[in-house]
Each structure stands twice: as structure tokens, then as C-alpha cells.
Structure 1
Amino acid sequence: MPLTPEVLTANSGVVARLRSLDVFFAPDEEPWFTIDGIESPRHIGSDGSGSAFVLLPSQNVLYVSSEGRAGIIAESFEAFIQLVVTRPYWLDILKFSAGGDLAEMRRAADALEATLDDEDEVNAAREDIRGALELPETDDPIGALYEAVAASDAIVRATDGSPFTTLFNRFSIDNNPMLRNAAA
């Protein structure tokens, strides 16, 4: 059976563990953005910053940042959960992507993973979720994230009509001393 929001939210233990990975399945009721061509977007959850996760009619998962950035991050709901579990720092990978450079994203992922070595709660949550949902291993979560964001064609607008920008940010891990040292 494919993983859907309904299947996942029926498992309260997994929902609780996903909270420690900054994913909350309590969508906002108040719309603060629109998506061109989609009448009623299915807002499935949010993160701690108030950003939204949206399941599109195509079954892609769209991330709408509270800071004016948006893009498709996964080809399906299951791929979204796999991304969050395998790379809970996926948003930081995009932040330190040097404008969407896949090699830089891989470097950022390695540095960010190294910083999680002492994060027992995050690592335990990852293992618990994988086991409870019987998630298969993903071949290349960074490549899949890159492809999803690069191919993203969803146009998200603020309530004033201004379009959101891409999720790729211009920074590299070299801009952050902690990550630069973790990569060394």
C-alpha cells in the first residue's frame, strides 16, 4: 500500500517522531499563498517556521517557505517522507547549494550529516520512522531533491500577487565556519 498522508497520520507514533524532524501534520487553515492553476491546494503540514507542505494534484510535494521561497521537493508523498528521514536538514542543503549546484549540495549534505553525529534524538527518530513505515533505502536523496527543485514549475504567489523565488539559495558551506570545518 502506498504511503499517503492518511496512512501516515493514522500512526501517532510516527507523527510524534516526525515532529522531532520539524514536520508537523497540522495544516494552517488560513491561506497565505496561492498556486497558479490550483484552486484548493491540499496543505498537509508545516514546519517550525510556519512554512507549508502542500500535496499537489500531480502528487508532488511542494514546500512553501514563510520567507518567500517555494518549490517542489519530492515526486510523491512517500519520497517526501524518505527525504525528511534520510536528510532531515534538506532545507539547509538547499540553503547551501551555491545557487543550485548539485556537487555543492552533496558537500553540504556530508557536512550537515557530520554535525548530526551527536544528535541522538534525531538519529533515533530516523530509525524509528524507517522501521515503523518500512521505508526502503533511497538511492540518491540529494540527486532526487536537486531534480525536483530544478524541475519545479509551480508558481506560488503571496497574497499581494508577488511570486515566490526558488528554494536554491546562493550560499555554500564555505560561508559557514562550522560546516566548512565539518567538511574538512
Structure 2
Amino acid sequence: MPNLQFDVRDLQQLKQQFDPKDVEKALSWSVNATAKKAATLLSKETRQRYDISAGDIRKRLTIQRIERDAGRAVLYTGRRLPLVQFKPRERWVSVSSKRRVQSGPRKGSMARRRGVTVRVRKDKGRQLVKGGWLAKNQIFRREDRSDNQSVPVMRFGPSVPEMVGNPQVIEAAQDMVRQDLPQQFNDRLNYILNKKAGLT
């Protein structure tokens, strides 16, 4: 089968013409490939200032599935990242400057608990999450810090757009998605169909 031109805007028509599973597979591959490119573009700016991996950035990126208009391809950069993604470390912290251990080997010493530090920005070093602790691979803090019975809530850091801090970089990633996704889809579907026909 010669290489054909397939338009990502014609998904429904292509599913009628070919095996729908092949079309969906080509779409999934193309979305993942384009998302990786977008993550690379955004991470170059982001990782200059923030201690975050390209993989963690990519996890926050999703691309709108397009059916009618490829020009509407949109890169969603997600909400704020869980604070646990910023290299947490546990450490002992004092409970109160006035509270002392009443008995045991540490009697008279300041009472303490396990706290957690994170490194969000590279220029600020590690910082203590006030009132926070590490549990179940997440960082939590009481909803009301003055009430030890209040509900624990998961803590979040900045979002990808906040870390990039440059609207022009975000727009460049959006433009790249609009241009790259249709070509990726065309190439991937051609590959799948050619392989199925025994031509690759």
C-alpha cells in the first residue's frame, strides 16, 4: 500500500474505511508522540528554575482528541502538581518551642514529629512544608493547622504554566501541537496499515 494522506479531522470516516482499532491506535500513538515533544519544549524553560523532571511535566499534559477540526487541537497543561513531585525528604521537626517530652530517653527535650521538606525552586534550596507530613506517597497537612482533628488535605505546588512563567512559551507549545499532531497521525496510520498489509 503506498503512503496515503489521512486527515485527523476525518476520524469517523476513517473508522468506517479501516479497522477502528487501527485508527484509534494511530491516534493514541500520535497524541503520545506530540505530547512528548510539547513536554520537551516546556521543560527546557521550566527546569532552569524548578526542580522537576521532564517526565513529571509530561504527565500533566493532555491533548484534546479531535474529531472535526484539527485546528482545535489544544494542549492542556493540567492543574497544580502534587507537592510530592518536588523531591520530598522526611526530617524531624519540633512540635512547639515550649512543649517538652515528659518521659523516656528524651525526657526534657523538645517534642518533635516527622516533617517533610521539598525542593521546588532551584534558587531557594529545600524548604519545610509547615505542618506537613509524608504518607501514602503524598504530602498532607491539616485543613485547619490549629486543629489536630481537622481533615488532612493533599498539598500542591505550582502548575506547569506558573513554572514556565512565559505565555509566549505556552503559546509556542500550543502551535507546535496544532502542526505536529496531524502529521504524526498521518505517519502512524500509514505505518500501521502498511505493516498490516505486509509492506514493512
TM-score (norm 2): 0.24
Larger Rg: 2
